[in-house]
Amino acid sequence: MSGNIQLLSDTLAAAKAAGRSALIAYLPAGFPTVDGGIEAIKAAFEGGADVVEVGLPHSDPVLDGPVIQTADDIALRGGVKIADVMRTVRETYEATGKPVLVMTYWNPIDRYGVERFTAELAEAGGAGCILPDLPVQESALWREHAEKQGLATVFVVAPSSKDARLAEITAAGSGFVYAASLMGVTGTRESVGAQAQDLVERTRAAGAGAALPVCVGLGVSNAEQAAEVASFADGVIVGSAFVKRMLDAPDDKAGIEGVRALAGELAKGVRRQA
């Protein structure tokens, strides 16, 4: 089975054709349990997410703030494995028919084996991978196997990225570019800020030939912020706010309903631009 990069591209293009940004949700695999995580991701889709990123819990999550670190710790203490991440991708894709990516640091893939990881992700129906700490210059082996398996390679750019770096990333990446709206770790913010719009504009200018969609993450937590980011980005990425709904809920069922409700609120936010 080939991976679903085309489904990802078609989904982002359909949102654009409808005059709106795509809503991209993030939730870690294995949180609060493997089964509970699968149900939460389904709920995010049912609430209105267009794409979901499944986090591969890692013991040293350098990009993640305290909320996602807490969820990762719960998943790791629960014994989550890469096989559980693949199962999460498979079951959510089969249930929804929508694009599911994995967001992971490089070390777990390197230890697992690039060829094995990409083959299993494609077989599970995955659309690709977001690799926040893999330098483009060191990504040739990954990209070779990802392309062979029909998987997107999504790189992360930041406000500190120079224009030459942005050009290099947009040329090498596929699916979309993940624009980190601010310097620092994941988490909700009072304001997403003008830095994000400037970064989107610079990334688009740098990758004019590739025309990859540019999706913004880090800091978006409510419908108002989603609408703000949707006014200039191709996609709005929300992670910590979903995880917080789960952490703050009195039980797993309430947490899953909280995820569904938040996805609905954010979906309305991205559609205010339509």
The 10s digit of each residue's pLDDT in 233-251 is 999 999 999 999 999 999 9
Report the SS3 class of residue 178.
strand
Q: What is the pLDDT of residue 186?
A: 45
CA 60 to chain centroid: 18
Q: pLDDT tens across 170-213, in order?
A: 999 999 999 987 644 444 445 556 788 999 999 999 876 667 99
Residue 193 and residue 204: Cα distance in Å, rounded? 18
Report the SS3 class of residue 52.
strand
Instruction: Using the structure block, give the residue that is written with the tokens 């267009």.
Output: 50
> What are the residue ranges in the chain where pLDDT is below 50?
183-189, 274
User: Among residues 39, 50, 64, 120, which one is catalytic?
Assistant: 64
Q: Which residues pair with 179 in a beta bridge?
A: 157, 216
pTM here is 0.94
User: Among residues 53, 84, 168, 234, which one is catalytic?
Assistant: 53
Element (H, E) at 115: helix 114-123
Residue 111 and residue 52: Cα distance in Å, rounded? 25
- Give CA torsion, residues 208, 100, 155, 173, to 10 deg: -50
Specify whether 53 is catalytic.
yes
Specify whether 252 is catalytic.
no
Residue 249 and residue 38: Cα distance in Å, rounded? 17
Q: What is the pLDDT of residue 97?
A: 98
